[in-house]
Structure 1
Amino acid sequence: MKALVRDGHYANLNEAIKDAFRTLLNVRPELKTSAVIELYKEGEISMGKAAEMVGVSTIEFKDILVSRGIRREVGSRSKKELDEGVELINKLRK
């Protein structure tokens, strides 16, 4: 990688690594799907965003989750999260 930067193919090592990672995910789409599922499971992205990132409809993404034995989260995970959500909605209404 450093040789490619030195030869001027990339501005810096970070740019080269990002390009390599993008290429890996394009060549191995199952890795991209796995990464997106992890982001979804951790609550970092919505189901709609996850489906968009994988390139499928929301219904197809739900089917992918089912095929991998992953239960879809519905609603808040705790009372605290629910209270925080209500508080945020109230702030946004003002």
Structure 2
Amino acid sequence: MSGLTADLDAVAAAGGYDDTDAMVEEAVRELLRRRPELRLSLAVEKYQSGAVSLNRAAELAGVSVEAFKDELADRGIDRDAGFLTDAQRDDHLQTFME
């Protein structure tokens, strides 16, 4: 067990958490609450990867959909980011149908 893992386990136990995952989840939530720019970047990344919709990404970022669209434009990210091309969609559909 690494030193970091042991420390995380000790902090989780001392803090009354059920497990290390619960403690890390709370720590990440607090980090994102304190650093809105990181929260926005996370939402952009999730949107760009296709993990969330535009509306959900804006919600995660804590901004309006219009403000999120502006942020994407400011970062030079196409609104099609994260979506499949027609060819990719056809490939996925073909694989699914087999």
Same-fold call, TM > 0.5? yes
- Once the two structures are TM-superposed, the CA of residue 83 in structure 1 deviates from its matched residue by 7.7
Runs of 4+ more than 3 Å apart: 82-85
Q: Which of 1, 10, 17 pairs up with 1:10?
A: 17
Equivalent residue runs for 1:1-94 within 5 Å: 1-73=8-80, 76-81=84-89
Equivalent position SS for 1:69: coil
Over the matched positions of the two proteins, sequence identity in percent amounts to: 36
- Normalised to the residue count of structure 1, the TM-score between the two structures is 0.75
The residue number in structure 2 matching 1:92 is none
Taking a change above 3 Å as real, the CA distance of residues 71 and 80 of structure 1, as seen in their structure-2 partners, is closer
- Once the two structures are TM-superposed, the CA of residue 7 in structure 1 deviates from its matched residue by 2.3
In structure 2, distance between residues paired with 1:28 and 1:66: 21
Which residue type is aligned with residue 81 of structure 1? R
Return 5+ residue gaps in structure 1 as ranges.
86-94
- Normalised to the residue count of structure 2, the TM-score between the two structures is 0.72
